[in-house]
Structure 1
């Protein structure tokens, strides 16, 4: 039987108590580094993925993170399509304004878009970090990103419907 020195043991215990274990939920993250959900779910049928995401049946935390991520990816694709429509409408409006030597709209909506992206990202990072390194951090983050993105899509739709 091996004898352990009590002093060495107490130092080891003291050190082990002060070391924090790193997990994927520790520290800051950059959502742009997440792999696309299509890569994560590669090899699975769309019906299988839909069932997993809709029911959560037999889903791991990583599965649920990617389900929430996939929902955001769809919302963002819709937003980008809507923003393209807004930019097209503003370009048309700007061509008329340019003839009259009037200020242009497109540069302003482009600045607003950049500011909005920063607002969305920072808001959702704060949502993700508010509960500490919880395993639901990324699910909360992606749900926030989706909700804010869908709301902005509706705002852009209303902007398109307003007289220009």
Structure 2
């Protein structure tokens, strides 16, 4: 099963769960596997939302850097494209790595939690990497 198929299947399973039940999950005290799966997915969704916000800011910053560098030499331009290339590569790495993480409980009820947990962890780490690009460097 590919990562895409697994994510679609997980999404369909979550959609089948009543929305009210998902909202009522106390993630600080989740005890059932279903609740832990829901909470892990919520963690990933929050991490992904933050990543998207920071990524947009980083693209804008790299675009501005390209404008600055163009004044020096056209040969220096490319920060925005390098960021986008790195992000595409990172997404492939993240998806593959997290699919692999799910094999610890392949086919079991814990697999979605392992995949979502991995996605949240790697996404949070990538967000920090992007934030570092936004910080001014000392010369």
- Give the shorter-chain TM-score range: 0.7 to 0.9
Contact 2:3/2:95 (8 A) holds in 1:
no
Whether 1:116 aligns to 2:93 is no
The aligned residue for residue 89 of structure 1 is 61
The aligned residue for residue 103 of structure 1 is 77
Whether 1:76 aligns to 2:48 is yes
Question: Which of the two has higher C-alpha Rg?
Answer: 1
Divergent runs of 4+, >6 A: 36-39
Deviations 1:90-138 (A, max 9, x none): 1111122234313221011000000001111101101101443232111
Q: Tell me the TM-score normalized by structure 2.
A: 0.81
Whether 1:150 aligns to 2:124 is yes
Deviations 1:11-39 (A, max 9, x none): xxxxxxxxxxxxxxxx4452541338688
Provide the alpha-carbon RMSD of the alignment. 2.5
**Number of residues of Structure 1 aligned to a counterpart in Structure 2:** 133
Q: What displacement does 1:72 show?
A: 0.1
Contact 1:87/1:106 (8 A) holds in 2:
yes
Deviations 1:45-91 (A, max 9, x none): 85x33x2x22114x3x3332121111100000001111111101011
The aligned residue for residue 34 of structure 2 is 62
Query: Hey, which of these two has a bigger chunk of helix by percent?
Result: 2
What secondary structure is seen at the aligned counterpart in 2 of 1:35? helix
